[in-house]
Amino acid sequence: MRSFDIDAIRADFPILQQEVKGKPLVYLDNAATTQKPQAVLDALTRYYSTINSNVHRGAHTLSDLATREFEAARETVQRFINAPGSNQIIWT
């Protein structure tokens, strides 16, 4: 079984750097929302700052750029989970 460096994982999540009642924050309400690592926060900031638009629904530059990034993310997930094709990756 592979072991994980919990401190390194926690370090990726800015919100988990705070304490509540003198103890490190532990967030277990993932059914409601999940906390985001810094890489996701950076990607969202870049997206909303530079190409925020609808994917697969526009006939303009921003929509084209957003659609390309959307499909690239699908391909990244496909490779990560070793799915047969990116068309099998469905966002919900």
Q: What is the pTM of this model?
A: 0.77
Count the alpha carbons within 13 Å of 3 in the hemisphere toward its beta carbon: 3
Q: What is the mean pLDDT of residues 16-43?
A: 94
What pLDDT is attached to residue 32?
Answer: 87
Report how far apart, in Å, the C-alpha atoms of 51 and of each of 30, 63, 78 are.
28, 7, 23
Q: What is the mean pLDDT of residues 44-69?
A: 95
- To the nearest 10°, report the CA torsion of 20, 14, 69, 55: 30
**What are the helix (H) ranges across the chain?**
6-11, 38-50, 61-81
